[in-house]
Amino acid sequence: KFATQHKTDIVYGTLFSHVVIGSAPAAGEAKMPYFVVSEGHHVASTKLNRYVFQPGITDVKSQIQAMAPWIAANAGKKVTQIFPDFAFGYDHRDYLPPALKAQGAEVIAQIAIPPTESSFTKYFPQIPAETEVIYHVMVGPAVLTFVKELGEFYGSNRPQLFGFIDSLEATDINSPGLEFLDGSHFWEGSPRYAQPDDSAAQKAYRAAVGIDDNGAAIGDPKDVSTAAHMFGCWETLYVVKKAMEDAGYKGPEDRAKLVEATEALTEFAEGPEHPQGPKTFNGKIHQCFGIQNISKVEGGRLNVVHKTKIEDGLYEPEGDYTTQPL
């Protein structure tokens, strides 16, 4: 419909990984440049096609690789993993064990939970008693229930918790029942809470999209943003703008030129267009690489305690989209 009925120039913004995988073939067949903001490793795996890009947010494989040394050194060596039972969760399932093993730690149990699940207590007895760290990355409307029930299950005597903020995205961490999260750690793409060392670009971005220093909508503290991820939408649009300018893009007849111009990009400097931080871009795998934040819950907010470097998340490409015909 986008290609034939609406005749759009591009398709942009898809989040859920199973949608990216399912719709990528249609983008290739229609020769429609498709810019996703999904985090899955699907684009970077080179299993999709030449018309699909993820230039504005890093992928799970890179995120895990960059953070594994910190987890092993600071949280614990015996890790139980809880993840959603669909494509995004499978990236965590597949890439965490080897990344931790390389750091002398191990995943001792993996618990997959259906994304439609509304109660989680029945899964918690599967967590081995010797677990030192629970690594959780849940998504969807029941995330608050998941975290609350985990707290009820353990009480005050819990293992270390390392979560992806997906488990609490758009949820106030000061919600009743989440007190037990104090002292636990989360991955964040871009920090929800303003940090003391925020750049001028980060401050300008917050003002432009209308979020306050707590990551909530200006004027409505209950409307908590998806700050850890939503920068990817902002940054991707600026990548499209740059590629269109480089390609001398005039309209849909220049889509192939747009693909090649995007593939030719190599780095994005931190600044108003890329407020989350600097990035490199690998045109062969259509994926960007950037920094990750590890934040600690303390005093009712998330404080960044560790930032990874771009090189911490680099890996060998698994293929090359540029060899495919346009």
Residue 139 has pLDDT above 90, yes or no: no
* pLDDT at position 142 over 90: no
| Best CA proximity match to 224, nearest among 192, 270, 180, 265 | 192
| Across 65-80, average pLDDT | 98
Per-residue pLDDT tens digits for 8-34: 999 998 898 999 999 999 999 999 999
What one-character DSSP code corresponds to residue 54? B
Q: What is the dihedral of CA 63, 66, 67, 68, to 10 degrees?
A: 110
pLDDT at 140: 79
Q: How far is CA 64 from the centre of its chain?
A: 10
When mean pLDDT is compared across 155-159, 282-286, 312-316, the lowest value belongs to 155-159
pLDDT for 141: 78
pLDDT of residue 200: 98
Residue 25 dihedral angles phi and psi, to the nearest 5°: -60, -35
- The domains located in the chain, with CATH, are 11-59+229-290+315-323 (3.40.50.2300), 60-225+291-313 (3.40.50.2300)
Strand ranges for 114-215 from DSSP E: 133-136, 160-164, 185-188
User: Quick one: tokens of 232?
Assistant: 């990817």
Q: What is the pLDDT of residues 254-297, one digit of tens each?
A: 999 999 999 999 999 999 999 999 999 999 999 999 999 999 99
CA distance 222 to 130: 38
- Give the Cα separation of 43 and 38 in Å (integer): 9
Any idea which of 74-83, 134-143, 201-210 has the lowest mean pLDDT? Answer: 134-143
Mean pLDDT, rounded, for 94-106: 98
Q: Residue 274 corresponds to which tokens in the numbers above? A: 């890329």
Q: Please state the rounded mean pLDDT for residues 162-180.
A: 92
The helix/strand/coil state of 233 is helix
Closest CA to 266 of 252, 278, 281: 281
Q: Phi, psi (5° rounding) for residue 131?
A: -60, 130
The pLDDT, as a whole number, for residue 308 is 99
